[in-house]
Amino acid sequence: MRKPAHLELVGGKGLRQRVWDRIRLLATGSDFALLDLVIGDECTATVRDYTIGLERAGYIAITQPHTSGGHNVARRWRLARDAGAEAPRVRKDGTLVTQGLAQEQMWRTLRMLKGDTCARELAAHASTPQIPVHEKAANDYLINLHLAGYLRRTRIGKGAGRRGGIPARYQLITNTGPRPPMVCRADAIYDPNLGKTVWVRPVTEEDAIYGT
């Protein structure tokens, strides 16, 4: 069973980020094989799938195919396109994974703003043609960051979402770095700048019984 995202990330970088770090490090010397990228009890299948995705997306290139001179040998690659420190988000087929990019754009916008903002303004400023940010997503992100202590609420909302309603406004007060605190599926926030889960939504007895 796949672990929840916030459990996979607790205590440090995700597996794909660690693999990308190793690829960039190995690129200063020579080419590399799959086993050069796996350390300890890491999931070899995940590393292999990510490596194949990087190859299909053009980030790495084959220097030695799986068969050479009629013999089976370990496939080897070299770094072909260095995208920087952040690991490319690609699937096994080489296509881009867009999940989480909206949070990246919202976090970047919050760090650039000098004053406070509301969900509608944040969505408008953070949207790009490729990754639009919806007002509801912006509102959820602001609420979660406020609960986790990243934002202070400068105005309480009233009747938000209704005609004539007043939206809540927030201002960034805790800037931990350039990478976005990630609101995970289990109502938790993981901060890759700190390498830990910084907030988990409290669960009451009624939540456990009724699932509300």
pTM of the model: 0.66
Residue 209: pLDDT band with limits 50, 70, 90: very low
Element containing residue 101 per DSSP (H, E): helix 101-112
Element containing residue 196 per DSSP (H, E): strand 196-200
Count CB-CB contacts under 10 A for residue 91: 14
Kindly state the average pLDDT of the residues 127-150.
Answer: 95
Query: Is it the case that residue 206 has pLDDT exceeding 70?
Result: no
Annotation: CATH topology of 101-210: Arc Repressor Mutant, subunit A (1.10.10)
Q: How far is it, in rounded angstroms, from Cα 107 to Cα 87?
A: 18
Contacts of 155 (CB under 8 A, 6+ apart): 116, 166, 168, 169
Reference 172, options 117, 209, 98; nearest CA is 117
pLDDT top residue among 160 and 78: 78
Q: How far is it, in rounded angstroms, from Cα 112 to Cα 106?
A: 10
CB-based contact 174:149 (threshold 8 Å): yes
CB-based contact 78:63 (threshold 8 Å): yes
Residue 115: pLDDT band with limits 50, 70, 90: very high
Percent of the residues in the chain that have a pLDDT greater than 70, as a whole number: 85
Residue 204: pLDDT band with limits 50, 70, 90: low
- Residue 200, pLDDT score: 86
Q: How far is it, in rounded angstroms, from Cα 21 to Cα 82?
A: 11
Query: Domain limits of the chain?
Result: 5-79, 101-210
- Residue 207, pLDDT score: 57
Query: Is it the case that residue 180 has pLDDT exceeding 50?
Result: yes
As a whole number, the mean pLDDT across the chain is 86
Reference 110, options 126, 99, 124; nearest CA is 126
Q: How far is it, in rounded angstroms, from Cα 73 to Cα 29?
A: 21
pLDDT top residue among 112 and 204: 112
CATH number of this structure's domain 5-79 = 1.10.10.10
Q: pLDDT by residue (tens digit) across 6-61? A: 334 434 578 898 999 999 999 877 899 999 999 988 889 999 999 999 999 999 99
Q: pLDDT by residue (tens digit) across 79-102? A: 999 999 889 999 999 998 887 889
Percent of the residues in the chain that have a pLDDT greater than 90, as a whole number: 58
- Residue 72, pLDDT score: 76
**Distances, alpha carbon 92 to alpha carbons 13, 102, 166, in Å:** 20, 22, 45
pLDDT top residue among 3 and 115: 115
Reference 103, options 5, 10, 7, 22; nearest CA is 5
Do 5-79 and 101-210 fold alike per CATH?
yes
